[in-house]
Amino acid sequence: MLHNFGSINLDHVYRVPHLVRPGETLASHDYRIGLGGKGANQSLAMAKAGGRVCHWGRLGHQDAWARDTLSRAGVEVSRVTLVDEPSGHAIIQVDDRAENAIILFPGANHGFRRADLNKLVAGTQSGDWLLTQNECIGLDKLIPLADNHGLKIAFNPAPMADDVLRLPLSRCWLLFVNRTEAAGLTGLAPDAGPEALLDALVAQLPATEVVLTLGGEGAWYQLGDLRLHQPALPVKAVDTTGAGDTFIGYYMAALQARLPVSECLKRASTAAALAVQRSGAAESIPGLNEVEDELKGEPS
């Protein structure tokens, strides 16, 4: 079982001709509310990929539908608590070039207390995986607690912020980073090349597996001297929201199924390539049959 300590958000998605500029008032040409949150998206992707995942999260009572959506997809939700606080939400603009800009309101995602973390970790078994992102509070406590309990930690430091630099990242087995996150962790410029980013990451975290996702430039895996590259599928993106989460969920499901890293990368990249061709976060995550058809070269 993989445990995912992660955000659950209500995504308010506005399609706009361009991302709003300072001082500008801009009319959107489409608006939807859907399930999102990096944590929820990753759990959903993992379940859709056939993985076994238990989500740890908090939601306002009025939004129980989000928990039901996760449950229907096969996510174990007994550790998703309904609380008397507003749920987290995201205001997302997506422009005609598929670029996005996101404002987060953490809400219930920031309500975890130390006692909650102790209880959640106590319910796991040594050797289980713990996946997490940077949208819930308490990672400075959770990472050492989970490591001491024998959990293998996979961390996606998204959204990247200064607090990530103070976390004991050497206690993580696996890091999922995009270019911005890799640059933030290493202090390199965001336009640094993949080799420079990977060199800096291995120097900083020599024992940690790193998966570097670069959108249209593909994805890299690194552990020590070993590096693998997975090219991206050539697709036209309409909305990249949640594509990174889709990648991570599919990767972790393939890892759980003990597939080799090259296959984990291939499946994850294929799932992400399907996701970017659809609008929305959770609703853009493809099913396993679609990913397998694509891998076989059949149209889904």
Minimum CB separation from ligand RIB for residue 242, in Å?
Answer: 5
- In the bound state, the residue with its beta carbon closest to ligand RIB is 36
Minimum distance between the CB of residue 13 and ligand RIB, rounded to whole angstroms? Answer: 9
Residues 6+ apart with CB under 8 A from 185: 157, 160, 164, 165, 169, 177, 201, 204
Query: Smallest distance, Å, CB 267 to ligand RIB?
Result: 19
CB of 135 to ligand RIB, least distance (A): 6
CB of 36 or CB of 249, closer to ligand RIB: 36
Residue 11 or 147: which CB sits closer to ligand RIB? Answer: 11
**Which residue do the tokens 């040409």 mark?**
29
Q: Confirm whether 245 is a catalytic residue.
A: yes
Instruction: Tell me how far, at minimum, the Cβ of 207 lies from ligand RIB, in Å.
Output: 27
Chain centroid to CA 32:
21
Q: Which is nearer to ligand RIB, 37 or 157 (CB)?
A: 37
CB 179 within 8 A of CB 240: no
CB of 241 to ligand RIB, least distance (A): 5
* Cα–Cα distance measured from residue 272 to residue 250, given in angstroms and rounded to the nearest whole number: 9
Please report, as ranges, the residues that interact with ligand RIB according to CB under 6 A: 7, 9, 11, 36-38, 41, 90, 102, 135, 241-242, 244-245, 281
The residue among 161 and 207 lying less far from ligand RIB, judged by its C-beta, is 161
Closer CB to ligand RIB, 40 or 130, in the complex? 40
Number of Cβ within a 10 Å radius of residue 183: 19
Rounded Cα distance between 193 and 210, Å, is 15
Identity of the residue, 109 or 124, whose beta carbon is nearer to ligand RIB in the bound complex: 109
Active-site residue, selected from the candidate residues 116, 163, 245, 293 = 245
Q: Which two tokens stand for residue 4?
A: 């995912």
The number of beta carbons lying within 10 Å of the beta carbon of residue 105 is 15
Which residues are identified as catalytic? Answer: 245
